[in-house]
Amino acid sequence: MPPRLYNIENLRCHTFFKKDMPIDILRAQDFFRESPLGSKAHRHNYYMLFFVKSGRGSQLIDFQRHDTRPGMLFTMYPGQIHAWEARQEIEGYVLFFTDDFFNLRYHNHQLQEFPFFHYEAASPFIQIDLASRKGEEFLSLWESMLEEYQTMSKDYEKVLRSYLNILLLQSQREYLMQYGAQNQEENQGEKLIRQFTQLISKHYFQKHQVKDYAEILLISPNYLNTLCTRITGKHAGVLIRDRIMLEAKRLLIHETKTVAQIGLELGFEDNSYFSRFFRKYSGMSPETFRRDHR
């Protein structure tokens, strides 16, 4: 039997589950102490920020192992598979929040626009220098958010929403410095590619062809391919395929459904075609992948 796939609602300790709130913030050590499920595989259906102040460990995020050390900010989005392999005296902060919580005020700035909140992100973490002034400011911001959440003074949700926006914007600055060009203006081509990847995340289970997305974007398939190759280094079809393969792997490892059922869920009416597709791009059959990775 594969491991049960936990949702964030199940993962969070009820001690911190206050009034069905769309945001939760707590110290990492409290979270690990109160929640026994952190080391079990679970699928995130909330956005999550996890900041390490001290201690070390190792965690799996979508099949990739990441060593965890002080100063690391992990950024996770809904749909990802997460599990801890090991941890040693980790202290820091954990923040869960929903899309609706953020968009209630910042509806003109979608969470998917942050470079670390989609499947094409260069990395699921940002490294913060704790010894620097920036590191001190970062820690102070987390402490202010935690205090605001715990005291729940008048308009505390508005304050938390503002803090969250500041935290995400500061994190974006660091992310772009570490993985991309800082302060680079997004041109029209880059906006189209961002829209394309957002569309893939919404429709990958039913739309597998480049022309389907080009039609929605009101451009030609050739132009979309040209833009993708120039900006991402990958053809448009490869971006679609990568997203399908990622979800196929998630489902094979963490669901009890048959290969045929998973293929059907991903838009493959012919089970043999899904098996050939998976073997072509992973080098093994779905059954072999499931067995080897459990």
- 219 and 148 in one domain? no
What distance in Å separates the CA atoms of residue 287 and residue 191, rounded to the nearest whole number?
Answer: 38
Confidence band for 9, pLDDT divided at 50, 70 and 90: very low
What confidence score (pLDDT) does residue 107 get? 62
- 32 and 76 in one domain? yes
DSSP one-letter code for 85: E
Say what angle helices 236-254 and 210-217 make with each other, to 10 degrees. 120
Any domain includes 81: yes
CB neighbour list of residue 217: distance below 8 Å, 6 or more residues apart? 192, 195, 196, 199, 224
- What is the SS3 assignment for 154? coil
More confident residue, 186 or 220: 220
- Average pLDDT on 11-28 reads 64
More confident residue, 145 or 104: 145
Residue 165 has pLDDT above 90, yes or no: yes
Q: Which residues are bridge partners to 59 per DSSP?
A: 66, 84
Q: Which residues are bridge partners to 6 per DSSP?
A: 42
- 196 and 121 in one domain? no
Q: What is the CATH number of the domain that holds 15?
A: 2.60.120.280
- Locate 63 and state its tokens: 């099949």
- 223 and 155 in one domain? no
- 208 and 155 in one domain? no
Confirm if 32 and 38 have CB atoms less than 8 A apart. yes
What distance in Å separates the CA atoms of residue 167 and residue 141, rounded to the nearest whole number?
Answer: 7
- 199 and 173 in one domain? no
What confidence score (pLDDT) does residue 37 get? 53
Last residue of a domain, one of 123, 153, 179: 179
- 22 and 167 in one domain? yes
- 35 and 83 in one domain? yes
What confidence score (pLDDT) does residue 72 get? 96
Any domain includes 1: no
- 173 and 265 in one domain? no
Any domain includes 2: no
Confidence band for 219, pLDDT divided at 50, 70 and 90: very high
- 123 and 158 in one domain? yes
Confirm if 97 and 86 have CB atoms less than 8 A apart. no
More confident residue, 17 or 94: 94
Confidence band for 186, pLDDT divided at 50, 70 and 90: low
Residue 187 has pLDDT above 90, yes or no: no
Mean of pLDDT over the chain: 84
With helix as H, strand as E and coil as C, how does 108-146 read? Answer: CCCHHHCCCCCCCCCCCEEECCCCCHHHHHHHHHHHHHH
Confirm if 90 and 46 have CB atoms less than 8 A apart. no
- 254 and 162 in one domain? no
Any domain includes 13: yes
Give the domain range for residue 125: 8-179
Confidence band for 90, pLDDT divided at 50, 70 and 90: very high
- Average pLDDT on 130-147 reads 94
- 173 and 100 in one domain? yes
Residue 124 has pLDDT above 60, yes or no: yes
What confidence score (pLDDT) does residue 180 get? 73
What confidence score (pLDDT) does residue 203 get? 92
Q: What is the largest CA-CA distance in the chain?
A: 59
Any domain includes 3: no
What confidence score (pLDDT) does residue 32 get? 83
Last residue of a domain, one of 129, 162, 179: 179
- Average pLDDT on 16-34 reads 76
Domain count of the chain?
2
Q: Give the global pTM.
A: 0.69
Checking DSSP bridges between strand 23-27 and strand 64-68, what pairing results, if any?
unpaired
What confidence score (pLDDT) does residue 7 get? 47
Residue 16 has pLDDT above 50, yes or no: no
Q: What is the CATH number of the domain that holds 285?
A: 1.10.10.60
